[in-house]
Amino acid sequence: MKTIKLRIKTKTQKYFILIGSNLISKFSKILNQNLIKFEKCLLLIDSNVPKNMSKRIIKSLKGKKVCLIFFKSNEKNKNQKTVNLIINTLLKKNFTRNDCLISIGGGITGDIGGFASSLFKRGIKFINIPTTLLSQVDSSIGGKTGINTNFGKNLIGTFYQPSLVISDVNFLKTLPKRELICGYAEILKHALIANKKLFAYLNKNFKKIISLKSPFIHKSIYESCKVKKIVIEKDEKEKNLRKILNFGHTFAHAYEASLGYSKKLNHGEAVLLGMNSALNFSNKNKLINKLEYQIIKKCLKNSNLPWNINKFFSKKDINKILSFMTKDKKNNSDKINLVLLKKIGYPIINQQYSKNKLKLFFKNELMN
């Protein structure tokens, strides 16, 4: 299938997202076509990436000085210690601002690579090669970088746009179904907040998308990226509109943190749980169109996606969940800021609720 190009234009950077198959074999050619030049590069490689895939990228960089860091990608390693390792390597190898850091991996690897790139000498060239469906449709676009702390997820970070994003669909063929569902969660989120036609397309073609059938997977990635492109071009630094991308995420981040970022619940699954909680909360507060609420709930149930928080939490966890929700970076008062839904394509931002109101909501949710 022909490579799809999506041009991103923010106030700080212009770059392309390339979507297609077998792109990494043409990496050197792609760099030349996009006028990206450097003598040295540091490859930050997720240790989960198949060796034959990373070797193809290294081979295509023949003639350039290449340094490698293999990174065990998980939320617990998404911290300042890892960032220090990257920066110290760049310093020891005498990298300049004209050189490049290339991230090869999922969203965690991309977030850390982007964050380190933004800090080193106040900004080094950064190329993101996302290797999971989740990172291809979400974290690789828009320039958000970040690391976790004991106080919560992504509380330290920067906005730093990449020079190029290469989404090679061939990477997805190496992923377990659980990882594909994680990516699908973000595609579904983009449909719910901005594109009713995409929601209908996902509802109709769910099995073909998850099975990576062409052109269904390519179209889903492209349409999802397009939603995020429109949002970040209007609001790069999340002052207003970009907040809609947090639909379900205040719940989701709290769920992840409450379980200590364990393998029981990964980010995409947490987003599915979070969106379902946001939908139920919207319904409980009579904000969402009743018919569309039922259509969305039916879609979740028919696709057998994980959406029930009862499988992960009980009433004894409520205070812990609420504690993390109150620390969420989107809050600007003692109330909890949520993104909710009126109907498909119509999110509601800056909805603030007391801790007690959410406590009652969770008590009811965890009874069902």
Give CA angle at 36 (15, 59), nearest 5°.
115
Which is the catalytic residue, given 78, 148, 154, 186? Answer: 186
Q: Determine the Cα–Cα distance for residues 211 and 208; give it in Å rounded to an integer.
A: 5
Q: Is the pLDDT of residue 114 over 90?
A: yes
pLDDT grade for 368, boundaries at 50, 70 and 90: low
Q: Residue 249 catalytic?
A: yes
* DSSP conformational letter for 137: I
Sign of CA dihedral 165, 177, 73, 324: positive
* Predicted pLDDT at 208: 96
Q: ω into residue 215 within 30 of 0, thus cis? A: yes
Burial class (CB in 10 A: 0-12, 13-18, 19+), 70: middle
pLDDT grade for 130, boundaries at 50, 70 and 90: very high
Q: Determine the Cα–Cα distance for residues 257 and 109; give it in Å rounded to an integer.
A: 19
Which is the catalytic residue, given 218, 267, 276, 365? Answer: 267
pLDDT tens-digit series, residues 306-343: 888 999 999 999 999 999 999 887 877 889 999 999 99
Report the pLDDT averaged over residues 83-92.
97
Which is the catalytic residue, given 128, 148, 154, 246? Answer: 246
Q: Residue 228 catalytic?
A: yes
Q: Residue 218 catalytic?
A: no
Q: Is the pLDDT of residue 189 over 90?
A: yes
pTM: 0.90
What's the mean per-residue pLDDT of the chain?
Answer: 93
Which is the catalytic residue, given 92, 122, 239, 263? Answer: 122
Q: Residue 236 catalytic?
A: no
Nearest in space to 350 (alpha carbons), one of 331, 366, 328, 363:
331
In the chain, the domains with their CATH numbers are: 4-173 (3.40.50.1970), 189-365 (1.20.1090.10)
* Predicted pLDDT at 261: 86
Per DSSP, the residues of 150-174 read: TTEEEEE--B---SEEEEEGGGGGG
Question: What percent of the chain has a predicted confidence (pLDDT) above 90?
Answer: 81
- Both structure tokens of 9: 């234009």
Q: Residue 242 catalytic?
A: yes
Report the pLDDT averaged over residues 55-81.
92
Q: Residue 246 catalytic?
A: yes
